[in-house]
Structure 1
Amino acid sequence: MKYKAIIFDLDGVICHTDQYHYQAWKALTERLHIPFDETINNRLRGVSRMQSLNIILEKSKKQYTALEKEAFAEGKNKIYRNLLAGMTPDDLSDEVRKTLKALKSKGLKLAIGSSSKNTPIILHQIGLGDFFDAVSDGNNITNSKPDPEVFLKASAMLKLAPQECLVVEDAVVGIEAASRGGFFSAAIGDAQTCKSATYVLHHFGDLLNI
């Protein structure tokens, strides 16, 4: 592999927390009497909590203040964090675990580049709290994807230039962010149709063949 590091999105790439996000947003929208389904949920992939809330509120007949929106977002996050408490290392697939170890054994630096502020909790729950060489997440960025900030900060933590890093993403906005930041990218899951991706992964383990 010609790269010195790989930067992974977390949700949908390393592990899958989509069902928890969906359940938490569903609980909020039912309380607010706002329509919410999988189609709307798919629009929330890779974007920040407040951006997600604004997308959801497009279906609302009411207008809410900034303070009300902050309260809604925090309420959703409390539900989500309670659901995350049930995650265990079993939520990390054998394929992902073995591939990460194999990549590290090759001397590659591994990092996380996620918009989620819950990244530290998730990594701890799945047994990867101290595994990655750098973690850039929603706690240290101001701009969400498709802005490349989260990946640029990850590469800076690794002391590497963007062109020395490969970004692995399952969201189109994530691939767009990688492209804007000058990174090479590998698309998996929903991002496979993104034409700006450098590579397409059908399985996580395909990283070993790049």
Structure 2
Amino acid sequence: MNVRITKKFTFEAGHALYNYDGKCKNLHGHSYQLYVTVIGTPITDTTNPKCGMVLDFGDLKQIVQREIIEVFDHAIAFNAHTPHAALADELIAQGHRVIKLPYQPTSENMVVDFAMRIQKQLPPHVKVHTMRLHETENSYAEWNLADNTPLFGLITTTLADKKGIIFDLDGVLVDTAKYHYLAWKAIAAEFNFNLTPTLNEQLKGVGREDSLRKILQWAGHNLSAEDFESTATRKNELYLQHINHIGEAELLPGVKNFLQVLKAEGKKIALGSASKNARLVLERTGILPYFDVIVDGTIVSKPKPHPEVFLRAAEGLALKPEECCVFEDAPAGVQAAKAAAMAVIGVGSKHSLPEADEVIEGF
């Protein structure tokens, strides 16, 4: 039988929200109230001095004090990925207590960060159930376990011992795979071939040249080296026409929040994609600052399922393959991660990604 226990904490902290369109863009402070609720089964061992408790309130107090209160109380928080970083450095030089965070210091982002910090310190039988952070008496942000089970489970279990996280791009982080399909479908039509969505699945994670070779093979056509190169270039031009006006709306649900959490957890993040336009897509969707390394089709010579792209990403992060985990949505990408001796989490369905170590529907 699970039981929840809750403890209230308070701390004073200041922050400023860079580029915000309201008063909170200015440096200001809050008297924060934090309600921490954990859930677990009461201890039944009668020889244990904590028998009958889910977690001693004193132990919970020590954890929250150490991980949050002592860090944030009477400190000023800034987003390290904005020009506010320079202001933070200036204040630090003057002896002020400043925190440079890998995210915008809103109550929403802070409460997610707090949940992750606390969970890492709890015993195995106890989970964070709810974190509620009040900026004022009437305004608060709440993190709930039931709303975040896939994300929370990944961070606290599968990814706990991984130092580097490597993402594929299309179909994992962004919804631009549809634009690749439209561009390839137009190219295939030039050879009187109908590229169906089913056949297009075989092109996911495959480089531009190899994708064109597959289409030509299906269509029963051959091209000279010059025509082959011009056709591949034309496909890219069609794709660029589609993505020229993309923005953050093209990010798949939960992606930005997941990247923020990974950064807060101290993970190194890399991109491992066959796309030659990867950097442009990351920039247009606003997530480029989260990536420490970008390995894409302009760098690698061997397409997935060859492991080159992921091995190069690990090398760029200065990590061993076994210290990394890959997120992939294509069978070729899963095979590439396996060949690189890395853990791989599939994004999609277990039916389509049977070789993945674990499969999630999304973030």
Same fold, TM exceeding 0.5?
yes
In the alignment, does 2:265 pair up with 1:106? Answer: yes
1:208 maps to what in 2? none
Aligned AA (1:98): N
* Bigger fraction of residues in helix: 1
Q: 1:166 to 1:131 in 2, by over 3 A?
A: same
Q: In the alignment, is the contact (CA less than 8 A) between 2:329 and 2:353 conserved in 1?
A: no
The aligned length equals 204
Q: In the alignment, is the contact (CA less than 8 A) between 2:168 and 2:272 conserved in 1?
A: yes
In the alignment, does 2:292 pair up with 1:162? Answer: no
In the alignment, does 2:287 pair up with 1:131? Answer: no
2:172 maps to what in 1? 13
Q: Which of 198, 214, 222 is 1:39 aligned to?
A: 198
2:120 maps to what in 1? none
Relative to structure 2, which stretch is displaced further, 125-134 or 172-181?
125-134
Percent identity, aligned pairs only? 37
Deviation at 1:32, TM superposition (A): 2.8
Deviation at 1:200, TM superposition (A): 1.5
2:227 maps to what in 1? 68
Aligned AA (1:107): G
SS at structure 2 position matched to 1:13: coil
Aligned AA (2:206): V
Deviation at 1:190, TM superposition (A): 5.2
Q: 1:62 to 1:202 in 2, by over 3 A?
A: closer
Aligned AA (2:219): S
SS at structure 1 position matched to 2:271: strand
Deviation at 1:35, TM superposition (A): 2.4
Aligned AA (2:239): Y
2:71 maps to what in 1? none
Deviation at 1:22, TM superposition (A): 1.4
Deviation at 1:82, TM superposition (A): 1.2
Aligned AA (2:246): M
Q: 1:66 to 1:185 in 2, by over 3 A?
A: same
Q: Distance in 2 between matches of 1:62 and 1:112?
A: 34
Give the unaligned 5+ runs of structure 1.
Answer: 205-210
Q: Distance in 2 between matches of 1:3 and 1:37?
A: 38
SS at structure 1 position matched to 2:269: strand
CA-atom RMSD, angstroms? 1.5
Q: Distance in 2 between matches of 1:120 and 1:153?
A: 16
Q: Which of 194, 199, 206 is 2:353 aligned to?
A: 194
Aligned AA (1:194): L
Q: Distance in 2 between matches of 1:147 and 1:56?
A: 20
Q: Which of 189, 198, 208 is 1:49 aligned to?
A: 208
* Bigger fraction of residues in strand: 2
Deviation at 1:133, TM superposition (A): 0.8
Q: 1:95 to 1:192 in 2, by over 3 A?
A: farther
Deviation at 1:123, TM superposition (A): 0.6
1:86 maps to what in 2? 245
1:84-103 CA-partner distances (Å, limit 9, x unpaired)? 10211121245111111011
Q: 1:157 to 1:61 in 2, by over 3 A?
A: closer
Give the unaligned 5+ runs of structure 2.
Answer: 1-159
Q: In the alignment, is the contact (CA less than 8 A) between 1:169 and 1:191 conserved in 2?
A: no
SS at structure 1 position matched to 2:246: coil
1:45-76 CA-partner distances (Å, limit 9, x unpaired)? 00011111111112334321122111111001
Q: 1:181 to 1:62 in 2, by over 3 A?
A: closer
Aligned AA (1:132): F
In the alignment, does 2:274 pair up with 1:115? Answer: yes
Relative to structure 2, which stretch is displaced further, 118-127 or 25-34?
25-34
Aligned AA (2:275): S
Larger Rg: 2
Aligned AA (2:262): L
Q: Distance in 2 between matches of 1:96 and 1:25?
A: 26
What TM-score do you get using the length of structure 1 for normalisation?
Answer: 0.92
1:153-206 CA-partner distances (Å, limit 9, x unpaired)? 0000100000000001000111100111111110111566433322211332xx
SS at structure 2 position matched to 1:138: coil
2:141 maps to what in 1? none
Q: In the alignment, is the contact (CA less than 8 A) between 2:259 and 2:290 conserved in 1?
A: no
2:67 maps to what in 1? none
2:307 maps to what in 1? 148
Q: Distance in 1 between matches of 2:356 and 2:203?
A: 20
SS at structure 2 position matched to 1:43: helix
Aligned AA (1:37): T
